[in-house]
Amino acid sequence: MTIIAAVPAIEATAVLFRLANLDDLDRLEQIENDCFVGDRLHRRSLRHWIKAPHGVLIVALVKQQVVGYGLVWCHKGTRLARLYSLALLSHERGLGIATRLVGELEARAAERGYLFMRLEVAKSNQAAMELYRRRGYRVFGEYHDYYEDHTDALRMQKTIQYLSVDKTQRLTPWYQQTTHFTCGPAALMMAMASLDETRLVDQQEELDIWREATTVFMTTGHGGCHPLGLALAASQRGFSAEVFMNTEAPLFVDGVRSAHKKEVMEVVHQQFVEKAANDAHIDVIYDEVGQQRISDWLQADYAVIVLISTFRLDGKKAPHWVAVTGIDERCFYVHDPDAGELSQLAIDSQYLPITRQDFDKMSAFGSGRLRTAVAIKRRTD
C-alpha cells in the first residue's frame, strides 16, 4: 500500500494515540477514501487488522476525532515488524502528526519484542521519504514497477531496539519458491548465487534440484529435500559441501504412516548416504550443528542453509529450508523462500531477524529434534 505522510511542522498539534477498535471502522474507511485512489484497505481488511494478534493498528486523535491511523504487521516467529500502512486526513498534514504516529508505532512494536521496522515507499513521495529518513530509516533495496501506476518503491529499515554492531552478513539474492515443496532447492539456489553472482536462479533449476534431492515422499504430498541430496546437487554444480546431521537414522520418516512410503524413504536415504560417501567434495558429520558452527562457516565465507520447523511461523510443524544471511550477538538472519501469506511481501521474507533463542528452538525439527545444515563453498578445481 502507498504510504501517505508529510514533513513535520516545528509546532506539532495536540494529538493522542490509542489502539483502534471496531467503533472506528466508519472513520477508518473515510480516511482510506480520502488518502488512497487505489490499493485501499477495505472494511473487511480493517476489521481483520483491528482484531489480528499479529497487527498493531493505532489511530491518531485530534480534538477527540480520529484523523489518521498507522498499521504495523508483526512477522510471526521473527523480530521483524513492517509498517504496512500510514494515512492522515489531508487537512491534518504538515502538523507533525505523521512523525509522532510513526514513533508511536515503533514504540508499540518494540514493546512486543520486535527489533526492526521495515517499510516500502514510493520514490516519488519525497515528503514521506524525508519523514522516514528523519526517523532514522535507511534505504536497503528497491522494487521496480511496484505500484499500480508502475512507479518504483524503496525499501527502508530501522532498528527500533538496540542491535550489536558485531555482525557477520552475507549479501544474498532472494528467490521465492514456486511450489510448496521446493524450499530446499530455493534455499540452495540463494546460497549458490551468494557465492557466484553469475548463476541463473530460475524455476527450471529449482525443479532440477528438487528431482535430484527429493525424499520422494513426506507425511502428505510431494517429498521435500534431504540434506545429503542438496549437498549432492551442490557438488554437481561446482561446490564443495559440509553436511551436519545429528542422527544417522533415515530422515523424515517419523510422521509417515504408510509402511510402503516409509520403506521407499529409507531406501532413498541410504542411496544419498552412499552417494555422498563416494563424493570427494562432500564431508558428512553426524553431530549437532550449533550456532557457533554456523557462525564459523559464515566467517569462513561459506553459504549456509538450515532446516527449520515452521511451527513458530505458521503453526504447521513442517520441515522447511532457509538460507542463513547473517548473524550477530542477538539474532540470526535468514532468507525464507516462502512468502505465502496474503499480507506478506518479498520484503517480509528477506534478512529476517530471528533471536538466537528462537532460532535454537526453530532449528530442531520433529519429535526426534533433527538438526541439520548444509554449508557450501565454490571449488577451485
Q: Supply the pLDDT for residue 3.
A: 44
What are the pLDDT digits (tens) for 169-208? 788 999 999 999 999 999 999 999 999 989 989 999 999 9
User: For the purposes of burial, counting CB atoms within 10 Å of the CB of 160, is it exposed (0-12), middle (13-18) or buried (19 or more)?
Assistant: buried
Q: Supply the pLDDT for residue 7.
A: 39
Q: Supply the pLDDT for residue 248.
A: 96
Assess whether pLDDT exceeds 90 at residue 28: yes
Contact 319, 166 (CB under 8 A): no
d(CA 87, CA 81): 18
Cα 267 vs. chain centroid, distance in angstroms?
34
d(CA 309, CA 315): 9
Nearest residue to 323 via CA among 173, 114, 207, 201: 173
Assess whether pLDDT exceeds 90 at residue 144: no
* Domains defined for the chain, CATH in brackets: 16-162 (3.40.630.30), 168-378 (3.90.70.10)
Rg of the chain, C-alpha, whole Å: 23
What are the pLDDT digits (tens) for 261-277? 999 999 999 999 999 99
CA distances, 278 to each of 120, 307, 376, 380 (Å): 48, 24, 17, 19
Q: Supply the pLDDT for residue 78.
A: 87
pLDDT, average across residues 338-354: 74
HEC assignment per residue over the chain: CCCCCCCCCCCCCCCEEEECCHHHHHHHHHHHHHHCCCCCCCHHHHHHHHHCCCEEEEEEEECCEEEEEEEEEECCCCCEEEEEEEEECHHHCCCCHHHHHHHHHHHHHHHCCCCEEEEEEECCCHHHHHHHHHCCCEEEEEECCCCCCCCCEEEEEEECCCCCCCEEECCCCCCCCCCCCCHHHHHHHHHHHHHCCCCCCCHHHHHHHHHHHECCECCCCECCECHHHHHHHHHHCCEEEEEEECCCCCCCCCCCCCHHHHHHHHHHHHHHHHHHHCCCCEEEEECCCCHHHHHHHHHCCCEEEEEEECHHHHCCCCEEEEEEEEEECCEEEEECCCCCCCCCCHHHHCCEEEEHHHHHHHCCECCCCECEEEEEEECCC
Side chain identity at residue 237, one-letter code:
R
Contacts of 89 (CB under 8 A, 6+ apart): 31, 34, 35, 67, 68
Give backbone dihedrals phi and psi of 95, rounded to 5 degrees, phi first: -110, 5
Grid cell listed for 273:
548416504
Using a pLDDT cut of 90, give the percent of the chain over it: 60
d(CA 206, CA 184): 9
What are the pLDDT digits (tens) for 58-117? 999 999 999 999 999 998 888 889 999 999 998 888 888 999 999 999 999 999 989 899
Using a pLDDT cut of 70, give the percent of the chain over it: 91
Q: How many residues are given for the chain?
A: 381
- Confidence at 147, pLDDT banded by 50, 70, 90: low
Nearest residue to 334 via CA among 359, 315, 314, 312: 359
Q: Supply the pLDDT for residue 165.
A: 47
- Confidence at 220, pLDDT banded by 50, 70, 90: low
Assess whether pLDDT exceeds 60 at residue 136: yes
pLDDT, average across residues 322-350: 81
Assess whether pLDDT exceeds 50 at residue 282: yes
